[in-house]
Chain A
Amino acid sequence: MSVKVQVQTTINNEPVEFLCEPRQSLLECLRDIVGLTGTKEGCGDGNCGSCTVKLGDRIVTSCLVLGVEAAGESITTVEGLAHGSTLHPLQKAFLDHAALQCGICTPGFLIAADALLQKHPHPTEEQTRFWLSNNLCRCTGYDKIVRAVQAAAIEINGAAQ
């Protein structure tokens, strides 16, 4: 085992310090060390997107990031979306549109969709599907997810001009 490294980072706007081995993924660090288990592991190789988090100004699959790389960065996980007990409009739209069944893909879709709406306030269906192509869902067939994201876009940013 190699020497553990102290990592100082910001998670959901809170300063966080954790100790990890260099070989540990950011996903492992979040779940097993920091105790934020909202971020899920599906494939472990970058394909399914269930481990998606925001890292700095873009989203990444946290299974393909080393925990040590998070030093000095700012991370948003699904736990950072709601305000206290008030759900984020995306979370509410996912519930309203039944955009989840088993729910393992949901945290990744929420983080990815949040980044989409920051870039495209009113994404077209095609933009939505293309942006979310790094997220897999085995349950819903995607249509409900796309509709939920578009409904949340209107909720957050008003009707498209």
Chain B
Amino acid sequence: MKAFDYAAPASLPEAVGLLASQPSARLLAGGTDLLVQLRSGRKDADVVIDVKKIPELNEISFNPADGLTIGAAVPCYRLTADAAIQSHYPALVEVASWIGGTQIQGRASLGGNLCNSAPSADSIPLLIALGATALIAGPAGRRSVPVDEFCTAPGRNQLAPGELLVSIQIPAPAPFSGAAYLRFIPRNEMDIAVVGAGASVTLSNGVISAARVALSSVAPTPLFVPAAGESLLNQMPTAEALEAAAKIAQEAASPISDMRGTAAYRRHLCAVMVRRALELAVARAQEIN
């Protein structure tokens, strides 16, 4: 690895100041993307700024009114062990236990997963389905961006130079709501999704009153498909309705062929995975509360 300096600011203002004064700095959370990229020479840095000492980036907090705040640097193993996340966001526990394996989860954060902005990032379709927003800090202060608008191209996102992600905020789950993320991978673990599907559903008197669907690995960015969720509004969650929504998501996908699968195979999988994710989200909406 090329030489760089290391800094570990203890506060957000210090980190923002440092970032402003160091144009070629890179931010380090768990390093499971960054250190691989630095070692392979795909990225370089004069300074690596470790964000894990900043208190706000390390917090998990939940309350029934405001929902869940996940500090950008919180590693997956803390998410899977958190009692509030276990009871209110079971799909988040699942995705955090599927990113890499045990050792990767000891380091990997959802903030890093989001900021790395890979089309295959496993947490992003679920965050989109859950209606999450990204809280960003920079020289001009703070702003929020919906996660469904955050990624702009492979490896690129809305963060402007000098900005960093502070936290991911997820609304409190509505009564009779459920969410799910499912991915199709050649192995059972430790692999990149061929297709991933995130879904959330809210029921009112048995009728769908809100639904969101997003996909990974089938477009240059994680893909939010508003029309798929909207097609379910005011419908009973029947097999036909879920199938029709899955077809809409499939139409929106623009997959490529690579070593994990052909475009046609991925397109087929889109419909299957979205339907199954919707089924699981509906089952959870019916069982909880």
A residues sitting closer than 8 Å to B (CB atoms) are: 1-3, 5, 21-25, 44-47, 49, 52, 55, 58-61, 63-66, 68-69, 112, 115-116, 130-135
Contact = CB atoms under 8 A, between A and B. Distances in A.
Nearest to B34: A64
Nearest to B31: A64
A47 B187 CA distance: 14
A3 B106 contact: no
Nearest to A71: B8
A11 to B, nearest CB: 17
Point out which of A23, A47, A65, A68 has the most chain B C-beta atoms below 10 A from its C-beta: A23
Interface string B169-203: 00000000000000000001110000000000000
A151 B78 CA distance: 29
A49 B194 CA distance: 23
Interface residues of B, number: 31
Contacts, number: 89
Contacts of B40: 45
A123 to B, nearest CB: 12
Given A64-B36, A66-B6, A112-B102, 13 more contacts: A2-B4, A2-B5, A25-B35, A45-B39, A46-B103, A60-B103, A64-B104, A65-B31, A66-B35, A131-B101, A132-B101, A133-B102, A134-B103
A21 B30 CA distance: 19
B6 A22 contact: yes
B104 A134 contact: yes
Point out which of B32, B40, B106 has the most chain A C-beta atoms below 10 A from its C-beta: B106
The 7 closest A-B pairs by CB, nearest first: A134-B101, A22-B6, A58-B106, A133-B189, A23-B1, A60-B106, A133-B101
A80 to B, nearest CB: 17
Nearest to B100: A134
B102 A3 contact: no
